[in-house]
Amino acid sequence: MKDIFKSELNYIMDKRVREAAGELIDMLPEYFFRVPASSTGKYHPKCSNVEGGLVNHTKIAVRYAKELMSNDILFNNFSKHDQDMIILALILHDGFKHGLEEEKYVRFDHPMISANFVKEEGESVGLTKEECDTLYELISSHMGIFNTSTYSDVVLPLPKNSMQKFVHMCDDLASKKFINVEFVNNNIVE
């Protein structure tokens, strides 16, 4: 399944991290590649509320990161390695949005499930312990200010450092209903 993220994987500069990313994508649940980004249709633009829409949403979030980090006067404070971590965190951030086994609705605590997945599997595919910790923090805090829910007792961690805030920003922008991106077969139309 990693081929669906071929372009996004190529944004990762370190070959070891890129290969680990491919292996982690291949471990994501089957439904991730099929479901829309919003289980109710209430959130997310039209392009992400179709079959395969969660992949589209993921691609938009990654693309924002890539575009913004490539702009030297905007976000030039991230090292190459930071940038790889940000891209990988965004690829995986919603990987378990409906739980370990597919549930009907989005799980509010999905950031913790995806973050735990990376912590548990990351080292077996060649990531370092430090990288797994960084990814855990980036993924678990990706909801930003939307860290509580009336449907759950879980309080998600808030983004604290600039990398964590950046990941949240890219996810948040990709979720806005007013920014609709054209896709053909899960590929952004340029």
Nearer residue to Fe ion within complex by CB, 9 or 169 = 169
Specify the DSSP class assigned to residue 58: H
Place of tokens 């079959």: 51
- CB of 63: closest distance to Fe ion in angstroms? 13
| Angle formed by the axes of helices 80-92 and 15-26, nearest 10° | 10
Q: Which is nearer to Fe ion, 94 or 131 (CB)?
A: 94
Q: Is 84 in the site for Fe ion (CB under 5 A)?
A: no
Total site size for Fe ion, rule CB under 5 A: 2
Residues 6+ apart with CB under 8 A from 38: 44, 48, 49, 53, 106
52, 34 Cβ separation under 8 angstroms: yes
Does 171 help bind Fe ion (rule: CB under 5 A)?
A: yes
Q: Least Å distance between CB 94 and Fe ion?
A: 4
Question: In the complex, what is the shortest distance from the CB of residue 72 to Fe ion, in angstroms, rounded to a whole number?
Answer: 26
Coil vs helix vs strand at 152: strand
Closer residue to Fe ion, CB minimum distance, 94 or 109: 94
Stretch that binds Fe ion, among 40-48, 154-162, 167-175, 178-186 (CB under 5 A): 167-175
Residues in 86-145 at the binding interface with Fe ion, rule: CB under 5 A: 94
Closer residue to Fe ion, CB minimum distance, 80 or 176: 176
161-176 burial: b if 16+ Cβ within 10 Å, else e: eebbebbbbbbbebbe
Interface residue list for Fe ion (CB under 5 A) = 94, 171
